[in-house]
A and B are shown apart, each in its own frame.
Chain A
């Protein structure tokens, strides 16, 4: 699964790092490092983290067709 965090919004509350520690980790006191391509098995954890984020900075894909993978015209 794919995800992206708007790190302009992120304020380092670290709720995600508690709820999905395999995907989100703090780097130092408040910088966030995350795996933008988390294992599908993490989906429930990641969705919980996204819902719990106080600044709603986590965006997760919605299982759309990966149409962009096709090359050329």
Chain B
């Protein structure tokens, strides 16, 4: 009775604080109101903007179809929330149930949702990262700045890292007829997400659109002119790229530093939570009043061996935020698990790339429909005899069918013959994911020198 009474009071007049005012935070706030929460709702965001949508930043914005300022997310209802925008959360006191803010203020909560997301991983060398012409793309401000630079007609754009963001930026540069060099440490673009078989198709796509693509190579240093403007990039194969604009696309870092010492299980890999979005503390005990959603969360997924998955996906942020919000104001019997099947999309070089499941778990891939050579196909990934993921290049209408196969743990290779009976579709091949024991991000760096002025950072290319 006491517990029910507490829940009723919480729903009526409790205090819910959401740290992170982007897609996940907004969707959680909306869900809380939809579920009948009438208490106080506070959203805290380090950026000075109301929630905006990030996917257009690397596509429509760079292509000039819209501006970075025009990406604010639509609202479905008045939230009656307190917005603390432009002020970062800097600490959490779980016993006092308080969030500390950068301006010295403190906000008390009865239930807390952490949706602080990720930020772009910066260039490893701080002085080189400061050169004029070295940038990243994650935020609205980043996109506005990058768009301005592209509009001034740089000599050559260097994209460092050919994941989805890097590839989309390269695509936008080519659409603007700018010369672009893409340097990727792996064997092909998108290799970490989709494997080498599919990555080779992405490589052919880039080259067909005039990208100077260099794979199996790393950028070892960025060199500026005396005025501090980027002038050259030096590569691990000894070559040099003449460039005045480098975009660092080396993935993302989770925004968990503010939780250091809080007692939550938060670190570089995110914040661990259960399938109901409740955060774990460092003892491995699940908390009752701290929830997590979006890119910063790591949660176990029953379909994928209960692995703790971190998914930097738009759809995951929406689904997990809704589940977290529901669970925040529900009794334990009414709580729901976050069982979203991972899915993402990318548009690059005029091709629609979409995926469901977890391709990187795949041992083998089979081209079930279409053809790699035509860059229009459906690839199905198998893991321990079952379908674990699928990817389509311009065949999105088939994806839902494969999603059902993943959900029902259908056998791999699938029992049906290929739909359009192409020869290469009959045999699964090794999917070609990089060895997970090799680091995929961040070059090896050694630090030498004793006094602060002598300290040097040296880049050491990893052995292939």
Contact = CB atoms under 8 A, between A and B. Distances in A.
Interface of A: 1-4, 6-8, 10-12, 25, 27-37, 59-62, 64-73
A26 B383 CA distance: 34
Contacts of B74: 1-4, 59-62
B86 A64 contact: no
Interface stretch (B1-9, B176-184, B294-302, B343-351): B343-351
A37 B59 contact: no
B394 A29 contact: yes
> Helix, strand, loop or mixed for chain A's interface?
loop
B124 interface: no
Contacts of B315: 6, 8
Nearest to B315: A8
A62 B82 contact: no
Interface in B41-69: 48, 50-51, 53, 55-56, 59-60, 63, 65-67
A62 B77 contact: yes
Interface of B: 21, 48, 50-51, 53, 55-56, 59-60, 63, 65-67, 70-79, 81-87, 105, 314-315, 318, 343-345, 347, 349-352, 354, 376, 394, 396-397
A1 B74 CA distance: 8
B84 A72 contact: yes
A59 B78 CA distance: 16
Given A28-B352, A29-B352, A72 B78 contact: no
A30 B65 contact: no
A31 B397 contact: no
A60 B246 CA distance: 36
Contacts of B345: 7-8, 10
Contacts of A73: 82-84, 87, 105
Contacts of A29: 350, 352, 376, 394
Nearest to B341: A8
